[in-house]
Structure 1
Amino acid sequence: MHAINKHKRLKKELKLKDVYAIATGATLSAGFFLLPGIAAIEAGPALVLAYLLAAVPMVPAMFSVIELATAMPRAGGVYFFLDRSLGPYFGTIGGIGTWLALILKVSFALIGMGAYIALFLPNLPIIPIAMVIALLLGAINVVGAKKSGSLQVFLVFGLLAILAFFLLGGVIEFQPVHFQGFFASGFDAIIATSGMVYISYVGVTKVASLSEEVSDPGTNLPKGMILSLVTAVLVYFFGTLMIVGLVPPEQLKGSLTPVAAAAEVAMGRFGVVLVSVAALLAFVSVANAGLMSASRYPLAMSRDHLLPPKFRKLGKFGTPLPSILLTLGVILAILILFDPMKIAKLASSFQLLMFALVCLAVIVMRESRIESYDPGYKSPFYPWMQIAGIVLPFFLIFEMGWVSIVFSIALVLISTFWFIYYGKQRTARNGAIYHVFARLGQYQHRDLDSELRGILREKGLRKEDPFDEIVARSLVLDLENETSFEGLVTVVAYKLQAKINLTAKEIKDQIMDGTRIGATPVTHGIALPHFRTDRTEQAEMVLVRARNSVVMTHYNPLTHEEEGEICVKALFFLVSPEHDPTLHLRILARIAERVDEDSFAAEWDHAEDEHQLRQSLLHDDRFATLTLGKSSASEKLIEKTLSDVQFPEGCLVAMLHRAGQSFVPNGNTVLQDGDRLTIIGSATGLVRLKEECSL
């Protein structure tokens, strides 16, 4: 039996443009270059409306995926979200099924380009060409996500540039008469067509499986995915509008190259060549994005012991080599043995089922009340957005017919068999759903909160978190003599009662109770006593350096029994507002991360005063002190009120030290000779300040 273990993480190499390009590249392919002609058979000119309606059920799924991906940026996307929320059984279904669905989509894209290649080289064998392209993309993926992402950026922006030229070039030949009888097919046909073309948008969410490799996922994932969906909606709307307006209805219906037909009307043979190049870029980009995304599923499942351990290994380039090779091998097998054009569409209903479960996963994670569940972006209109995201996919699933439904059931059965045969005896965890039902509390997965706290630590602070300000105004105690922990807590409580609306006794009781139940982290001679209260509006800290150590009693966090004494030399007391538990955890995570750094111990031990003790907890480029004195560059600030001083943008005076006293100044504070200002700010702002005041 295995709990969740630490594994070597993938490199965070993907920026905003990469996220956008991968999500967009996974979306704009067959949905635009092949499906409009097929959609015209059912809906006629109303296919334009069908494409717009198809985007509606995508919105709840996208926002739910964004929330989960920014809370748990891990390889595996849908698999990881379902495993941690609903448990490893649903995770297995989501992992195996989505992996196979992505592989089918990649195979479909590689074959789908054949219709456009046939416009120029009708006798060229498509299967060998598709296999060569698959091998090339596999080699690029092995080298690294950054290189794959760079290729994706080139492919997508090249595609968008050509599509923009196509849309502008078609305006002159546009024929409004083609829209006569817009609703002649009936609303039922429009809805059925929207169900068919819905698959065109699902690629937007696939980048979530790469979230572990995204730098600043809390910002880049939401921006990239939302921009991608907006781009897809605009391209599909204006693109299908142009296709209907250029191609005569009888020619459009059933066409497998509708964009080329429209380009020929607008720009002649040159237009056909141009959009054929765009189609090839689109199909290669969706294949690249799909291969990148799919290859992370075996990696994530292997980490959790649902697949053999070989698939969690990384190659010399820091990429999941065995997982990429497995994915590539299955793609090549499908290209040789099956007709991807026929079977890829069968996976559509399964993907809709996964989106419904992802929306359910958001509800489960929120209602679990796990404090370390800390998404960088929260879905709007909760829970109505998620309820809509659960209901709408099932409506579309039944529109797709029984063949797709049977295929989805087959994927569920295959995944179930694998879980029972291989995964069940190798996993000892449950999802967050067991945190929702108090009557099942004994089955709560205790490692889940720990894992989410680890993810919280990796994500780090948010830009708006006032960590620097909290440290800068913190109280500092520098103890020379050995003391007991309880004695120190008495002193700290007395100091803190002036800052928060609690008595010294209440503060002491909170800290000591937390320590007795094992809630105070203690490691490597450092302790982090902490609690939250509704009696303060802002977080407060007390930093303690114990030169001759503080003796603490160590308690087992499970049994609450004493396990002996431990000596610590650094203690960080934190009190935060009750209403923001994730900020409290992010601050603790940042302190833990800093004290683990090699440079911390030496800086802490050799600090000469309280300013340097604070500075040892912060990055040097975010923290500075300025002592005002005559005959210095800072003389110009003396006798000025703080509001009249123009500090560089982004700089803030967090603390003022005067005559042995420290206090937080306000705009009316008059600066005096000998004042020492503690200033926090951006790296560039502090550099300018140092230059201006000769620090």
Structure 2
Amino acid sequence: MMDKPAKLARNLTLFDVYAMSTGAMFSSGLFLLPGIAAMATGNSVFLAYFLAGFLILPAMYCMAELSTAMPKAGGTYYFLDRAMGPLMGTIGGLGSWIAVIFKSAFALVGMGAYLGIYLDLPFKVTAIVLAIAFGAINIFGAKETTQLQRILVITLVVILVGFTLLGLKAAASGPEPLFELNTNYGSFFKSGLVGFVSTIGLVFVSYAGLTKVASVAEEVQNPDRNIPLGMTLSLITATALYTLGTFVLVKIMPAEQLTNSLTPIADAGRIFMGNWPFDIGVILIVVAAIAAFASTGNAGIMSASRYPYAMAKDKLVPDDLAKLGRYKTPTISILLTVGIMVIVIQLFDVQSVAKLASAFQLLLFMLVCGAVIVMRESRISTYKPGFKVPLYPWMPIAGILIGFWLIIEMGILAIGFTGTIVIACVLWYNFYASQRVSRRGAIFHVHERLGRNTYDGLEHELMSIIHDRTQAQNLSYEAVIARSVVTDFRYGKYDLEQVQDMVKDISMDRHSLSDEIATDISKGEFNFRALSEGIRLAIRLDKRLEEPELYIFRFGPKARILFDIDGADALHTMMVLICPPVPAGLDMRIAGHLAEIIGGEGFEQRWLDATSEAELNDVLVRDDHFLHLPIENIPALASQIGVPLAEIVMPQDVSLALVERGGDMLYAAPSLVLEAGDTIALIGEPSSLEEMRRQAKKTSPN
């Protein structure tokens, strides 16, 4: 038997997502760039930062949608590859890897510069040592990496909040009113509207780190919630601190001092905190700057290393880069990333190249927005994002236009650098990867005339992603099937309206649904799909349901079926799945699980041979996840006879699905009281059920 491919551990929480996104944004954007931006637009610099935060929204929303639909390592690479094909994936993956390496190297050099305020250390040597140290932390595990990230971001945000509040207080106590222009900077739009717009493009890249968390989406717990929420909280934090922080700078600092400063936050702090003992105010700001650059460098190594890891799994780069080390991290990919970063720090003018790499980041934002449009228009049934871009398609279109405009604003040198990276990626794909891959992107699903080139493997891959996203809920899928309401019709004539009426009656009786909800669920069009020649499934979504319910109708050989659907002559079973729309993909997962069971060897014959509801449930539920025993033979439950189900204590990883009493199958309602003589249907993990089987053998008579 082949070993399953190693997977990254899914252990990053909402706060880890927030910490990574926030830490990836605060570095040069606040601690180096404000002076340059103020030189261009004067008093309105804070407004430029504020508007730039809004302009990142389309890219952020598009990245969040793709991350919740396809939470896989590699982020941008994976999205572009699956949406537009492996050539675009290669451009996105290798290009992102290069761009993140340059920007992370720049952050580490900046950290060395701030350390140099108090320590006589060479910038580049310090940056190289830091790169190696952060690389080692990354190797020990994502959780260890994010624990450091948490500390850095908490330190950074607390100090910056303190700086902002104290700075606003100092500005309000100054000779000029708080909201009056600082005349040292001239008019509000110093260089006119054109200069202001150009400054927005300049500071926009300060927010680019926001989306880096997508590259580690495979390691995020509950990505449907934690990725979009974490990114949103991070953007709110960054926009507030960027806007208010730069407002403090232009109110506190003379224009000449700010525009010539490479450490503007520290210089501003010296003005209103310089009289603190031991220079503690400025020291804290330096600590914040170091935390900012360190968090950017640390998060950069983590996210950058996932690009070659993901590409290696897809055969676009050498396979060794996909190997996980003993700590379940892509060790070889991390080592390569750190090695290239050390070379970049040593040989290049990192600041200049990092600015050029920002133009490529803007190109990636455009492509990601385009990928959302491709995935939506492909109509692939297994594309089930847990978060959807609002105002589709206008939001992704706006993201494409914003990216194009900002690239033009960055000038010919940035455009040339971006073009060089693209050409290098195309050459790599043509000479190395093109013969190793056969898949195509979702773009081939978009138009009917390209239908002959669709790649069916993509739909199966997205289905497997849905399974991985909802792995913690798999036990509930088994429970849905086990507690399904099975109705056996042996005689009579039946049409679709009668089946709908039965769905309504059963849902009201067994699941306590109101007449209104039950009527809405049962009426309307049922689109049936074939799970086998004789079994059809219809799925209805309703947000008023708290959990999925499955209704099964089996028709015997003497029952006459009057349904106007293809293949009705062979039909013997109809299934109706009523499912809440959240979590996304839940309906597809249950349908896939049913198809897997029904496709098993000998299933239909055993299904047709079953003579009771209990036997039908036994046939339908997988043996390794199912246990059907008298209550007296289950020690954990025998001691709880007479107790309502809502109050019983169940073993870990096991749930009670059905109770058979006197030949009747009773739904496991919370108010149902266990009685002696009951036969219990349990659903659980195989290891837990096997232990209960062993206990049952000990208690049963010889």
The TM-score, its normalising length taken from structure 2, stands at 0.75
The superposition leaves residues 176-214 of structure 1 with CA deviations (integer Å, 9 ceiling, x where unpaired) of 355343233322111100100111001110010001111
Could you tell me which residue of structure 2 aligns to residue 23 of structure 1? 21
Could you tell me which residue of structure 1 aligns to residue 587 of structure 2? 584
The superposition leaves residues 290-322 of structure 1 with CA deviations (integer Å, 9 ceiling, x where unpaired) of 000000000111111110111111112111111
Rounded to whole Å, the distance in 2 between the matches of 1:277 and 1:619 is 57
Instruction: Give the 3 Å change call, closer, same or farther, for CA 515–490 of structure 1 in structure 2.
Output: farther
Instruction: Give the 3 Å change call, closer, same or farther, for CA 356–508 of structure 1 in structure 2.
Output: closer
The superposition leaves residues 616-674 of structure 1 with CA deviations (integer Å, 9 ceiling, x where unpaired) of 79799xxx99xxxxxx999899xxxx9xx9999xxx9998978655577999x999999
1:240 paired with 2:250, answer no
Instruction: Give the 3 Å change call, closer, same or farther, for CA 64–678 of structure 1 in structure 2.
Output: farther
Could you tell me which residue of structure 2 aligns to residue 145 of structure 1? 142
Conservation of the 8 A alpha-carbon contact between 1:460 and 1:590: no
1:344 paired with 2:354, answer yes
Instruction: Decide which of 508, 511, 532 is 1:515's aligned counterpart.
Output: 532
Query: In the TM superposition, what are the counterparts of 1:274-423 in structure 2 within 5 Å?
Result: 274-423=284-433
Could you tell me which residue of structure 1 aligns to residue 106 of structure 2? 108
**DSSP-derived class of the 1:531 partner:** strand
Rounded to whole Å, the distance in 1 between the matches of 2:168 and 2:679 is 63
Conservation of the 8 A alpha-carbon contact between 2:643 and 2:673: no
1:251 paired with 2:257, answer yes
Could you tell me which residue of structure 1 aligns to residue 74 of structure 2? 76
Instruction: Decide which of 113, 125, 134 is 2:131's aligned counterpart.
Output: 134
1:172 paired with 2:173, answer no
Could you tell me which residue of structure 2 aligns to residue 120 of structure 1? 118
Query: In the TM superposition, what are the counterparts of 1:214-229 in structure 2 within 5 Å?
Result: 214-229=220-235
Cα distance, 1:612 vs structure 2: 8.5
Rounded to whole Å, the distance in 1 between the matches of 2:462 and 2:551 is 24
Instruction: Give the 3 Å change call, closer, same or farther, for CA 417–502 of structure 1 in structure 2.
Output: farther
Conservation of the 8 A alpha-carbon contact between 2:310 and 2:322: yes
Conservation of the 8 A alpha-carbon contact between 2:269 and 2:281: yes
The superposition leaves residues 89-113 of structure 1 with CA deviations (integer Å, 9 ceiling, x where unpaired) of 1101101111100000111001112
Instruction: Decide which of 148, 158, 171 is 2:155's aligned counterpart.
Output: 158
Conservation of the 8 A alpha-carbon contact between 1:653 and 1:677: no
**DSSP-derived class of the 1:76 partner:** coil
Deviates more, 1:147-156 or 1:587-596: 587-596
Conservation of the 8 A alpha-carbon contact between 2:40 and 2:199: yes
Rounded to whole Å, the distance in 1 between the matches of 2:573 and 2:230 is 38
Conservation of the 8 A alpha-carbon contact between 1:501 and 1:535: no
Instruction: Give the 3 Å change call, closer, same or farther, for CA 211–633 of structure 1 in structure 2.
Output: closer
Rounded to whole Å, the distance in 2 between the matches of 1:18 and 1:319 is 17
Counterpart AA for 2:5: H
Counterpart AA for 2:269: A
Instruction: Decide which of 196, 211, 234 is 1:190's aligned counterpart.
Output: 196
Cα distance, 1:423 vs structure 2: 1.1
The superposition leaves residues 553-591 of structure 1 with CA deviations (integer Å, 9 ceiling, x where unpaired) of xxxxxxxxxxxxxxxxxx997433699794431213566
Cα distance, 1:271 vs structure 2: 1.9
Counterpart AA for 2:456: R
Conservation of the 8 A alpha-carbon contact between 2:252 and 2:268: yes
Counterpart AA for 1:185: S
1:38 paired with 2:10, answer no
Conservation of the 8 A alpha-carbon contact between 1:460 and 1:589: no
Counterpart AA for 1:158: T
**DSSP-derived class of the 1:425 partner:** coil
Rounded to whole Å, the distance in 2 between the matches of 1:617 and 1:162 is 55
Deviates more, 1:425-434 or 1:240-249: 240-249
1:271 paired with 2:281, answer yes
1:10 paired with 2:16, answer no
Give the superposed CA RMSD.
4.4
Deviates more, 1:580-589 or 1:368-377: 580-589
Rounded to whole Å, the distance in 1 between the matches of 2:245 and 2:490 is 71
Conservation of the 8 A alpha-carbon contact between 1:178 and 1:248: no
Rounded to whole Å, the distance in 1 between the matches of 2:40 and 2:227 is 36
Query: In the TM superposition, what are the counterparts of 1:424-439 in structure 2 within 5 Å?
Result: 424-439=434-449
Could you tell me which residue of structure 2 aligns to residue 57 of structure 1? 55
**DSSP-derived class of the 2:538 partner:** strand
Could you tell me which residue of structure 1 aligns to residue 213 of structure 2? 207
Conservation of the 8 A alpha-carbon contact between 1:67 and 1:377: yes
Cα distance, 1:226 vs structure 2: 1.1
1:88 paired with 2:86, answer yes
The TM-score, its normalising length taken from structure 1, stands at 0.76
Rounded to whole Å, the distance in 1 between the matches of 2:626 and 2:238 is 41
Cα distance, 1:390 vs structure 2: 1.0
Rounded to whole Å, the distance in 1 between the matches of 2:101 and 2:260 is 26
Conservation of the 8 A alpha-carbon contact between 2:626 and 2:682: no
**DSSP-derived class of the 2:577 partner:** strand
Aligned-pair identity in percent equals: 42
Counterpart AA for 1:102: V
Instruction: Give the 3 Å change call, closer, same or farther, for CA 161–515 of structure 1 in structure 2.
Output: same
Gaps of 5+ in 1: 478-487, 521-528, 545-570, 597-607, 626-631, 682-695
Rounded to whole Å, the distance in 1 between the matches of 2:526 and 2:307 is 48
Cα distance, 1:476 vs structure 2: 5.1
Cα distance, 1:243 vs structure 2: 1.6
Rounded to whole Å, the distance in 1 between the matches of 2:159 and 2:527 is 68
Instruction: Give the 3 Å change call, closer, same or farther, for CA 44–474 of structure 1 in structure 2.
Output: same
Rounded to whole Å, the distance in 1 between the matches of 2:642 and 2:135 is 64
Rounded to whole Å, the distance in 1 between the matches of 2:596 and 2:159 is 47
The superposition leaves residues 254-292 of structure 1 with CA deviations (integer Å, 9 ceiling, x where unpaired) of 311110011111111322211011100110110000000
Rounded to whole Å, the distance in 2 between the matches of 1:448 and 1:242 is 51
Cα distance, 1:509 vs structure 2: 13
Cα distance, 1:378 vs structure 2: 1.2
Rounded to whole Å, the distance in 1 between the matches of 2:251 and 2:139 is 44
Counterpart AA for 1:587: I
Instruction: Give the 3 Å change call, closer, same or farther, for CA 232–535 of structure 1 in structure 2.
Output: closer
Instruction: Give the 3 Å change call, closer, same or farther, for CA 442–501 of structure 1 in structure 2.
Output: farther
Rounded to whole Å, the distance in 2 between the matches of 1:680 and 1:41 is 70
Rounded to whole Å, the distance in 2 between the matches of 1:262 and 1:106 is 26
Rounded to whole Å, the distance in 2 between the matches of 1:574 and 1:492 is 19
Rounded to whole Å, the distance in 2 between the matches of 1:84 and 1:646 is 47
**DSSP-derived class of the 2:6 partner:** coil
